[in-house]
């Protein structure tokens, strides 16, 4: 029996992780890890897909040194996309959602189409970075690129195409675009027609677990199955939440995604007011959630200090932040001032002055400010989700990189007043792996997978300390 390979591409790094089901447990083996740094291409902040695809191929080669690789699944962040021309070639590197070209576009769109009506069709949180708005900005500012396009492929679909030569759009990643109907989970003809976007540019949508094809012979990787997993990384992460009851989750990486899993979308006025998004999950479920700035602030602060010659590890960052007895500065982590790369210390100081708060000075004060502000964002968002769902949640599952930060998990428990269950840390890769195993008929369904995950990985519980 071979293993399956999960390629998990995040907005700051990527990794390849082998997964094997043995004796009722899932075993993981990290075979590669690599940075993901945007570059400027034709004046646009972009993703270097040539480099990333080379790392994906290296991951497969490394994985084969350990075991036979039966299949591969790729998950990534949402909203961004590549453009193929008539010959099926990539026109240019995909634009990065943090590029400034969409600034101010919501005001222009709102004059053409009601943002409330757009929400009621798509269920998506209205954000300038969403695929729809990126496409409109592309057509407006770079028509020479837009009018070459035959096919639009979201990032994981693009890499699947490069691996197999086959084109499809997986349901969970498509649901991040502001272009799908939240109930039918298909491309919305009404939205496409209104914004004069051709349906032919968008591939047919397939469900998770779909066998797309095998790796192309010319890649020299062998005959490996490529499976459409839950390709939005959050959708994969939520698959790995080992709960059989209603649950809250926080998928904590560069972004923090806070939400719950539902059978149907919620498109109420409160849901729109709170800017909650409805995205497709496994087995036809909906993830009601909010995209918030996550560890991006910590990552940028870490980079800022590294440029000054101080290379903190994440463990050191958490340790020094925990020593700050009284943080006197809280920021709105979703303020647009923090959305683009730059010196976060200057921006935090500017925000503190603008809001007449104490100004952080030492590294530990900046890091504590970021962590604590993030926890308060979680608390506010959870309260909004409880209002919209009319449910009271007693516990939160924190999955992803943030689950490894003991100090931060305890801080979230204290500030939200809820029990926090941390783990698994490699949630996205695990969710990716189990969808492959279900597709290969080695696991029955997600319910069985979650029981296996619960038996395979150690979870840590943090009770709120209200002192």
Q: Residue 12's pLDDT is what?
A: 87
pLDDT in tens, 134-183: 999 999 999 999 999 999 999 999 999 999 999 999 999 999 999 999 99
pLDDT in tens, 29-66: 999 999 999 999 988 999 999 999 999 999 999 999 99
Asked if the domains 3-228 and 243-423 are classified in one and the same CATH topology, the answer is yes
Query: Could you give the percent of the chain with pLDDT greater than 70?
Result: 99
Work out the pLDDT band at 2, boundaries 50, 70, 90.
confident
Active site residues: 233
Residue 244 has pLDDT above 80, yes or no: no
Q: Residue 258's pLDDT is what?
A: 95
Residue 452 has pLDDT above 80, yes or no: yes
Residue 467 has pLDDT above 90, yes or no: no
Residue 235 has pLDDT above 90, yes or no: yes
Q: Residue 405's pLDDT is what?
A: 86
Out of 16-25, 287-296, 353-362, least confident range = 287-296
Residue 11 has pLDDT above 90, yes or no: no
Instruction: Select from 3.30.1330.40, 1.10.40.60, 3.30.420.40, 1.10.600.10 the CATH code of 3-228.
Output: 3.30.420.40
| CATH class assigned to 243-423 | alpha beta
Average pLDDT over residues 398-414: 91
Mean pLDDT of the chain, nearest integer: 95
Q: Residue 339's pLDDT is what?
A: 87
Average pLDDT over residues 236-262: 91
pLDDT in tens, 325-352: 888 899 999 998 998 889 999 999 999 9
pTM above 0.85, yes or no: yes
Residue 314 has pLDDT above 70, yes or no: yes
Work out the pLDDT band at 1, boundaries 50, 70, 90.
low
3-state secondary structure the chain: CCEEEEEEECCCEEEEEEEEEECCEEEEEEEEEEECCCEEECCEEECCHHHHHHHHHHHHHHHCCCCCEEEEEEEECCCCEEEECCCCCECCCCECCCCHHHCCHHHHHHCCCCHHHHHHHHCCCCCCCCHHHHHHHHHHHCHHHHCCCCEEEEHHHHHHHHHHCCCCEEHHHHCCCCCECCCCCCECHHHHHHCCCCHHHCCCEECCCEEEEECCHHHCCCCCEEEECCCEHHHHHHHCCCCCCCCEEEEECCEEEEEEEECCCCCCHHHHHCCCEEEECHHHCEEEEEEEECCHHHHHHHHHHHHCCCCCCHHHHHHHHHCCCCCCCCCCCCCHHHCCCCCHHHHHHHHHHHCCCCCCCCHHHHHHHHHHHHHHHHHHHHHHHHHHHCCCCCEEEEECHHHHCHHHHHHHHHHHCCEEEECCCCHHHHHHHHHHHHHCCCCCCHHHHHHHHHHHCCCEEECCCCC
Q: Residue 466's pLDDT is what?
A: 64
Question: In 3-state terms, what secondary structure has residue 232?
Answer: strand
Residue 448 has pLDDT above 90, yes or no: yes
Query: Could you give the percent of the chain with pLDDT greater than 90?
Result: 90
Work out the pLDDT band at 133, boundaries 50, 70, 90.
very high
User: How do the domains of the chain map onto residue ranges?
Assistant: 3-228, 243-423
Does residue 65 contact residue 32 with C-beta atoms inside 8 Å? Answer: no
């Amino acid at each position: 029996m071979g293993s399956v390979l999960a390629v998990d591409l995040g907005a700051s790094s990527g990794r390849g992780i082998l997964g094997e089901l043995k004796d009722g447990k899932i075993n993981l083996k990290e075979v590669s890890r690599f940075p993901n740094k945007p570059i400027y291409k034709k004046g646009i902040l972009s993703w270097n897909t040539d480099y990333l695809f080379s790392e994906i191929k290296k991951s497969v080669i490394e994985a084969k040194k350990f075991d036979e690789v039966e299949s591969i699944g790729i998950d990534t962040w949402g909203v961004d996309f590549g453009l193929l021309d008539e010959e099926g070639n990539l026109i240019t590197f995909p634009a990065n959602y943090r590029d400034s070209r969409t600034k101010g576009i919501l005001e222009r769109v709102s004059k053409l189409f009601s943002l409330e009506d757009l929400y009621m069709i798509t269920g998506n949180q209205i954000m300038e970075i969403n695929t729809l708005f990126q496409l409109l900005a592309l057509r407006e500012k770079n028509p020479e690129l837009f009018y070459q396009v035959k096919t639009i492929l979201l990032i994981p679909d693009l890499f699947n195409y490069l691996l197999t030569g086959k084109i499809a759009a997986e349901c969970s990643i498509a649901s991040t675009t502001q272009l799908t109907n939240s109930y039918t989970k298909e491309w919305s003809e009404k939205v496409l027609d209104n914004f004069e976007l051709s349906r032919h540019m968008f591939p047919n949508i397939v469900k998770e677990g779909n066998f797309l094809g095998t790796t192309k012979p010319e890649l020299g990787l062998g005959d490996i199955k490529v499976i459409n997993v839950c390709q939005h990384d959050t959708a994969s992460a939520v698959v790995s939440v080992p709960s059989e009851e209603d649950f809250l989750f926080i998928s904590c990486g560069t972004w923090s995604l806070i939400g719950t899993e539902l059978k149907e979308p919620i498109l109420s006025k409160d849901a729109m007011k709170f800017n909650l998004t409805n995205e497709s999950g496994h087995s036809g479920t909906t993830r009601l959630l909010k995209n918030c700035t996550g560890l991006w602030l910590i990552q940028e602060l870490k980079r800022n200090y590294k440029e000054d010659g101080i290379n903190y590890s994440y463990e050191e960052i958490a340790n020094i932040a925990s020593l700050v007895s009284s943080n006197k500065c809280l920021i709105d982590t979703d303020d647009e001032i923090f959305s683009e790369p730059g010196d976060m210390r200057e921006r935090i100081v500017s925000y503190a002055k603008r809001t007449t708060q104490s100004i952080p000075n030492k590294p530990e004060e900046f890091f504590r400010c970021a962590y604590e502000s993030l926890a308060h964002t979680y608390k506010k968002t959870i309260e909004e989700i409880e209002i919209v769902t009319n449910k009271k949640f007693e516990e939160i599952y924190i999955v992803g990189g943030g689950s490894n930060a003991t100090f931060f998990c305890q801080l979230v428990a204290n500030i939200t007043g809820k029990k926090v269950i941390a783990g698994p840390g490699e949630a996205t890769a695990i969710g990716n792996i189990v969808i492959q195993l279900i597709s290969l008929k080695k696991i029955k369904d997600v319910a069985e997978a979650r029981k296996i995950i619960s038996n395979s990985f150690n979870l840590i519980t943090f009770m709120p300390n209200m002192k």
